[in-house]
Structure 1
Amino acid sequence: MNGKKILFVSSELVPYLPENEVSLMSYETPRMVNSNGGQIRIFMPRYGNINERRHQLHEVIRLSGMNLVINDIDMPLIIKVASIPRERIQVYFIDNDEYFKRKATFTDAEGTLFPDNDQRAIFFAKGVVETVKKLNWSPDIIHVHGWMASLLPLYLKKYYADEPLFNASKIVTSVYGKSFEGELDSDMIKKVAFDGIAEESIAPLKTPTYNNLLKVAVDHSDAIILAAEDIPEDLQSHISNLEKPVLPYVTLQEFEEAYANFYNTEVLN
């Protein structure tokens, strides 16, 4: 991985959120690349339940200030950063008071999905790309973790298809076990189509379940990592029908060599 640039985009990340499959691998994978001489950038949403004081988040004025249009509404983009000192890793946070100030991640106190989770996902995808453009940093690999980040492959391949910074970038999506029940907003497909993305390329979003969000993600990725043992059968079947490199599930103890080999032999070739 020496000298390779890898952009990690994740729904969740330890130590900022509790440990689960997504948040742990979203930390361990960039740590592995960083320790093997790769250059990394990490992005995640700045949820309101992240303790800004404890983790020493601060706003980056030169990167903040633009507006992103989400479903015909201008939404201000705020960028914050923090460091994980023991790994010398910097993390960028995509923030917006309307979408991320609430003191929770994906659901309310009763466990009900937030009604604007679809717009939050669109905002996050656009916010990451626009910030990387401002950084003028061209990644060799873009590695996506978690469903809140699942629209990034779609937006890179469709909405930002003519952006030269990402011309040579390869997109890898890690697929995890089902992380939410039910559906996002039924008009999600219309909100994505508002950005000029043809509905036939996002047909699964007519029913925006977890499985269908990940189907759209893998459809627009260059390679796929099965990051959990319990991937839903419907999603597993969809992936097996794609003619793309797939890394089968490996344990945390074995992942470093497996992921590095997959990056080098299957993704970058």
Structure 2
Amino acid sequence: MAKTKILFVTHEMSPFLEISKISEITRQLPQAMQEKGFEIRILMPRFGGINERRNRLHEVIRLSGMNIVVDNNDNPLIIKVASLPAARMQVYFLDNEEFFQRKKVFSDEHGKYFDDNNERSLFFCKGALETVKKLGWSPDVVHCHGWFTAMIPLYLKKVYHDDPTFKDAKVFYSLFNEESDFSPSNTLGAKYGEMAAQEDVSAADAAVYGSGSYADVYKGALTYTDVVVKADDNLNAEVLQFIEDQKLRVFTPESDTDYEGFGTLYEEFASEEVEA
């Protein structure tokens, strides 16, 4: 029997970048699933604060060299990889000098969101899926962590749904309390959905991302998600109401280390179609 394949996509992972509890979950959960016999891949951005020498990143020439179109501009994509010997895992890093080579991750030294966070997110989401295609590896489950991955569910359901690499993949989205990242002035803006629609999807499909606010970004992502994972406490009430109204399937792990629960769920979605 073939191994179940899980793609983890995240904006942070310990020990490379530690901003929130996402970094520890995305470090431990993939290893636990690998030890259970699952086949995994992990993708994240190569933000400027990640030390290449200390973490022994090196470029994967056969994967690099693609251009990712965002807002009608071609942006070169460089792929790097690092190993976690203790876990026998590799992590692939998506790099672009203009988008990621900054001292800060999402906000400047004054706490103001970078104006191009929407473009950076779109670049990462598109680049991640194109990288997996180039790997020639077809995941059964794509598990997204963090708002930076919010356009991946839409792309999977509307752009890559007939692609042999992703046509049977199910989408998991872990919800975290990331609301402090956003404010009335710190949003991705309505242009987030508009830019996604320029090249890849219809304006109607992308309109669910609304104003680019915290709640709208998550509601957009969850519209195209098969299973919502409640991975944190004190989640946004508007998002929770949306989940209830849309009757989305929810998995609430007993703890951050409920690996039995995750393993059972991954297996189910690797072998069965999602019920309407």
2-structure distance, mates of 1:166, 1:25: 24
Quote the residue 1:124 is aligned against: 124
What does residue 97 of structure 2 align with?
A: 97
Q: 2:212 aligns with which of 199, 208, 214?
A: 208
Identity of aligned residues (%): 40
Query: For residue 108 of structure 1, what is the aligned residue in structure 2?
Result: 108
What secondary structure is seen at the aligned counterpart in 2 of 1:77? strand
> How many angstroms does 1:262 deviate by?
2.1
Q: Secondary structure at the match of 2:215?
A: helix
| C-alpha distance in structure 1 between counterparts of 2:210 and 2:37, whole Å | 42
Structure 2 Cα separation of the partners of residues 45 and 142 of structure 1? 16
Offset, 1:187: 2.0
TM-superposed deviation, 1:169: 0.9
CA displacement, residues 88-143 of structure 1 (integer Å, 9 cap, x when unaligned):
11000011001001112111111111111100111111111111111110011110
Kindly indicate whether residue 23 of structure 2 is the aligned counterpart of residue 20 of structure 1.
no
Question: How many angstroms does 1:248 deviate by?
Answer: 1.9
Superposed displacement of residue 185, structure 1:
3.4
Measure the CA separation in 2 of the matches of 1:238 and 1:112: 28
Confirm or deny: 8 A CA contact 1:245 1:267 kept in the other structure.
Answer: no
> For the Cα contact (< 8 Å) 1:116–1:185, is it kept in 2?
no
Task: Specify which of 255, 263, 266 is matched with residue 266 of structure 2.
Answer: 263
Displacement of 1:190: 1.7
5+ residue gaps in structure 1? none
SS at 2:69 equivalent: strand
Q: Distance in 2 between matches of 1:130 and 1:266?
A: 23
What letter is aligned with 1:141?
A: V
1:139–1:169 contact (8 Å) kept in structure 2 = yes
- CA distance change for structure 1 residues 228 and 192 in 2, over 3 Å: closer, same or farther? same
* Structure 1 position 158, deviation (Å): 1.2
Provide the residue aligned with 1:29 in structure 2. Answer: 29
Q: Which amino acid aligns with 2:99?
A: Y
Counterparts of 1:67-216 in structure 2, within 5 Å, are 67-179=67-179, 180-182=181-183, 183-216=187-220
Change beyond 3 A, Cα 1:99–1:170: same
Letter in 2 for 1:47: F
* 1:177 and 1:231 in contact (8 A); partners too: yes
How much has 1:261 moved relative to structure 2? 2.0
SS in 2 for 1:164: coil
The one-letter code sitting in structure 2 at the alignment partner of 1:80 is K
Deviation of 1:266 (Å): 5.5
CA distance in 1 between partners of 2:165 and 2:2 (Å): 20
Structure 1 counterpart of 2:182, one-letter code: E
Q: Supply the distance in 2 between the matched residues of 1:221 and 1:191 (Cα, whole angstroms).
A: 20
Moved more, 132-141 or 104-113: 104-113
Stretch deviating more after TM superposition (31-40 or 235-244): 235-244
* Equivalent residues in 2 for 1:198-237, closer than 5 Å: 198-237=202-241
Superposition CA RMSD, Å: 1.7
Listed one character per residue, the Cα deviations across residues 127-173 of structure 1 (whole Å, up to 9, x for unaligned) are: 11111111110011110001111111111111223212111111111
> Does structure 1 retain, via aligned residues, the 8 Å contact 2:209–2:221?
no
TM-score by length of 1: 0.94
CA drift at 1:31: 1.1
Shift, 1:249, TM fit:
4.6
Cα deviations by residue, 1:210-231 (Å, 9 ceiling, x for unpaired) = 2211111111111111110111
Partner secondary structure for residue 86 of structure 1: coil
Q: Secondary structure at the match of 2:82?
A: strand
Which sits farther off after the overlay, 26-35 or 13-22?
13-22
TM-superposed CA distance for 1:268, in Å, is 4.2
Report runs of 4+ in structure 1 exceeding 4 Å deviation: none
